[in-house]
């Protein structure tokens, strides 16, 4: 990613200062969850990319990226709760806390994910993918509206979108696995070593 593009993406949250655009994104559930929140995350990631290594959390508090990735998981879990979406539309303080939390999640995630090893990175990405898929299924299977502010049909569309997003993140997690990790042949090669060690 070129630095100029990174700075342009980092400025995306400024668009939320335009009331008609903000209302367009938040008036329906799908763009609220599947467009606005990921864009805030991308903006934070892009700013960290533009700033370079100095944007990382200190290694002493973010060993193996655990602190940063835990923050990302917590933010993701919190904003999968339907009532949080409702509250963010009613309370401007919570609305801006949402913007900051997602932007900060993206900002921190870039450094923490690059610092994490394959196992830690796959664990956290897989956990987020599983959480999104679970939320997507619950949104589709709930017999009534989960958000007062959004219609039932919007909830169904959002549920499908969350599952698509979960599959994409799951694929990203698998890409981080070292080559041969999932190969049956590699498991067979490891077995004699464990037996001989015993």
The pLDDT value recorded for residue 166 is 95
Could you tell me how far CA 146 lies from the centroid of its own chain?
21
Give the pLDDT confidence of 11-52 residue by residue, as tens digits: 888 888 889 999 999 999 999 999 999 999 999 999 988 888
Give the pLDDT confidence of 130-177 residue by residue, as tens digits: 999 999 999 999 989 888 889 999 999 999 999 999 999 999 888 877
Average pLDDT, whole number, for the chain?
85
In order of 26, 99, 119, 158, 160, the CA distances from 146 in angstroms are: 16, 22, 35, 12, 15
Predicted TM-score (pTM) of this structure = 0.84
Residue 74 has pLDDT above 80, yes or no: yes
Residue 6 has pLDDT above 90, yes or no: no
Residue 181 has pLDDT above 60, yes or no: no
Sequence-ordered alpha helix ranges (H) in 79-143? 82-90, 92-115, 118-141
């Amino acid at each position: 990613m070129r630095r100029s593009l990174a700075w342009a993406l980092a400025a995306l949250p400024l668009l939320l200062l335009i009331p008609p655009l903000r209302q367009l994104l938040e008036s329906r559930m799908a763009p609220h969850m599947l467009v606005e929140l990921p864009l805030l995350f991308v903006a934070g990631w892009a700013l960290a990319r533009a700033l370079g290594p100095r944007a990382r959390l200190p290694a002493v508090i973010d060993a193996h990226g655990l602190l940063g990735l835990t923050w990302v998981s917590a933010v993701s879990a919190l904003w999968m709760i339907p009532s949080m979406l409702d509250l963010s539309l009613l309370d401007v303080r919570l609305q801006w806390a949402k913007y900051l939390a997602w932007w900060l999640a993206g900002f921190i995630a870039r450094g923490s994910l690059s610092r994490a090893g394959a196992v830690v990175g796959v664990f956290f990405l897989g956990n987020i993918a599983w959480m999104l898929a679970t939320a997507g299924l619950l949104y589709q299977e709930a017999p009534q509206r989960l958000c007062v502010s959004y219609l039932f049909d919007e909830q169904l569309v959002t549920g499908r979108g969350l599952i698509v997003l979960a599959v994409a993140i799951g694929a990203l997690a698998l890409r981080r696995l070292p080559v041969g990790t999932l190969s049956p042949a590699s498991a067979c090669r490891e077995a004699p070593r464990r037996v001989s060690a015993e």
